[in-house]
Structure 1
Amino acid sequence: MDTVAIPEPRLPRRVLMGPGPSDVYPEVLAAMARPTIGHLDPAFVEFMDQLNERLRHAFKTRNAVTLPISAPGSAGMECCLVNLLEPGEKIVIATNGVFGGRMQEIVKRCGAVPVNVDFEWGTPADPDRMREALEAHPDAVALAFVHSETSTGVRSDAEALCALAHEFECLAIVDAVTTLGGIELRVDDWGVDAIYSGTQKCLSAPPGLSPVSFSAA
C-alpha cells in the first residue's frame, strides 16, 4: 500500500465568547499532556476520589453520589431522568428554552409522562405557574427545570422551585449545565435532589464530561 502523506492539522487560536465551549485554562491543557494511566491503577482511584470531592465543593454538597460522567451534559440529563423515573410516572417540567424541551423528549423515551409548563423564551420559570401544574397533577413525582437556559441565558429561581417541589413531595431535578462554577449554586441548602452540569461552560474545561450529583432522597 502506498504511503499517504497526511498534513498536520492547523487549528486557529480563538477567543471563545459563545455559550460554550469556553476557553480552557492553560493549567488544564497542561494537565491533559500528562501520561495516561489505567482505570484500575490505585493512583487513578485516588485521583477520582479527589476529583469527586472537588465536585462536591463546586456543587456545595456532601452527596456521596457526586461524580463526572464521561459524556456531555445531555447525557447527564438523561442519567438523572432515567434513573429517577419509572414508566407511567409524571414529572412537571418548566420549558423556557431548548433544554426544557430536551427533558421532555428523554422523559417520553423512558416511558414516563411529562407535564409541560411552557414559558416564553427569555423569561424565567414562574413558581406560581409551576405550583398550578403541581396542584393539577398531585400524582407527579418530580419537578425539573433549567437553572439558566443556554439558549437564552435567562436564570430561574432554583431555590424557590426546589422548595416548591418538596412542598408537593416531589424530587427536584436541576439542569446546571451553564451555571456550575458561574453563579451561586447550593445543592444542599436549596434541597436539590438530582443535578447535572457540563465541563465546557463555566468550569472552563474541555467538553466531554458531565458532573452529576444525587441526594440520598
Structure 2
Amino acid sequence: MKSFNPPIRTLMGPGPSDVHPRILSAMARPTIGHLDPAFVGMMNETKEGLKSIFKTENELTMPVSAPGSAGMETCFANLVEPGDKVVVCINGVFGMRMQENITRFGGVAVVVEDDWGTAVSLDKVEQALKDNTDAKILAFVHAETSTGARSDAKALCKIAHDNDCITIVDAVTSLGGCELRVDEWEIDAIYSGTQKCLSAMPGISPVSFNERALTKVKNRKKP
C-alpha cells in the first residue's frame, strides 16, 4: 500500500470546508491516552469553548467523536421513546433524516412539509401542534444543509414550548455561520458538526442538552 497524498483543493461546497492550518498542525502532534490528566484538562477546556460557541451554560455540552449524523442520533436516541409523537419539519434532506431517526427509535412522526429552499412555516408548525396535543417533541433543521434555507429557530422554539414540547435542533450548518443562541432561544437539545462553518476536520459533533431535555431523559420508561 502506498502513502496517500491528497490533492490540494479549495473546498467551496456546503461541507467539508477547508481546515485551518493551525488545526492541521495540531493534528500532527503526539497522541496521548484518554485518561491522561493532560487529555482531561484539554477536554474540559474544549467543553467550555463549545459552551461559548453555542452561547449556553448547559453542563451537558460536549463533542461526540463522530460526524453530525451521530450527533443527530445522540439527540433522538436519548429523547425519543417508543410511541412518542414527534412533529418533524421537512424542507430538505436533513429533515428527512430526522424523520428516519424518529421511526427507527419507535416514535410516531408527524410531518410538517415545506418546499425545499424555503424556511419552515411557523403557521404550519403551530397548526400541527394544535392538531396533535399529545406531541412530545418538535424537531427541525435551523439551516438546511441541502439548500441553505434558514428557519426562525427562536420563533419555532417558542411555539414548541407554548405547546408543551421540547425541541431538537439541527445546527450542523448554522453553528459559527449565523446567529445561534441556545440559552436565550431556549433550545432544549442541539447538535452540530465541525466540518462546516467551524472549519475543523470532519468527524466531531458538538451537542448540548438543557435541563428540560435531561428531565425527559431521566424519566424515560424504557432505557
Report the TM range for the smaller structure's normalisation: over 0.9
In structure 2, the residue matched to 1:72 is 67
> 1:100 is matched with which residue: 95, 99, 107?
95
Q: Which amino acid aligns with 1:21?
A: P
In structure 1, the residue matched to 2:197 is 202
- How do 1:43-82 residues align onto structure 2 when only pairs under 5 Å count? 43-82=38-77
1:7 offset after TM fit, Å? 3.1
In structure 1, the residue matched to 2:20 is 25
Task: Give the distance between the partners of 1:191 and 1:117, measured in 2 at CA.
Answer: 21
Could you say what the CA RMSD is over the residues aligned between the two structures, in angstroms? 0.7
Q: Which amino acid aligns with 2:3?
A: E
1:214 aligns with 2:209: yes
Task: Give the distance between the partners of 2:4 and 2:211, measured in 1 at CA.
Answer: 47
Using the size of structure 1 for normalisation, the TM-score is: 0.96
Q: Which amino acid aligns with 1:48?
A: M
Residues 43, 170 of structure 1: CA spacing in aligned structure 2 closer, same or farther, 3 A cutoff? same
Structure number with larger C-alpha Rg: 1
1:110 aligns with 2:105: yes
Q: Which amino acid aligns with 1:38?
A: G
Q: Which amino acid aligns with 2:142?
A: H
1:134 aligns with 2:97: no
Displaced runs of 4+ in structure 1, greater than 3 A? none
Task: Give the distance between the partners of 2:126 and 2:19, measured in 1 at CA.
Answer: 40
Task: Give the distance between the partners of 1:45 and 1:193, measured in 2 at CA.
Answer: 26
In structure 2, the residue matched to 1:156 is 151
1:11 offset after TM fit, Å? 1.5
In structure 2, the residue matched to 1:3 is none
Secondary structure at the aligned position of 1:189 is classed as: coil
Secondary structure at the aligned position of 1:187 is classed as: coil
Unaligned runs of 5+ in 2: 213-223
Secondary structure at the aligned position of 1:75 is classed as: helix
Task: Give the distance between the partners of 2:6 and 2:132, measured in 1 at CA.
Answer: 52
Alignment deviations for residues 38-78 of structure 1 (CA, whole Å, 9 cap, x no partner)? 00001111110000000000000000000000111011111
- How do 1:184-203 residues align onto structure 2 when only pairs under 5 Å count? 184-203=179-198
Task: Give the distance between the partners of 1:179 and 1:115, measured in 2 at CA.
Answer: 24
Task: Give the distance between the partners of 2:2 and 2:68, measured in 1 at CA.
Answer: 33
Unaligned runs of 5+ in 1: 1-5
- How do 1:157-172 residues align onto structure 2 when only pairs under 5 Å count? 157-172=152-167
Q: Which amino acid aligns with 1:30?
A: S
Alignment deviations for residues 5-51 of structure 1 (CA, whole Å, 9 cap, x no partner)? x4332311000000000000000011111110000001111110000
Secondary structure at the aligned position of 1:145 is classed as: strand
1:146 aligns with 2:131: no
1:173 aligns with 2:155: no
1:82 offset after TM fit, Å? 1.3
Task: Give the distance between the partners of 1:140 and 1:147, measured in 2 at CA.
Answer: 20
Identity of counterpart residues, as a percentage? 62
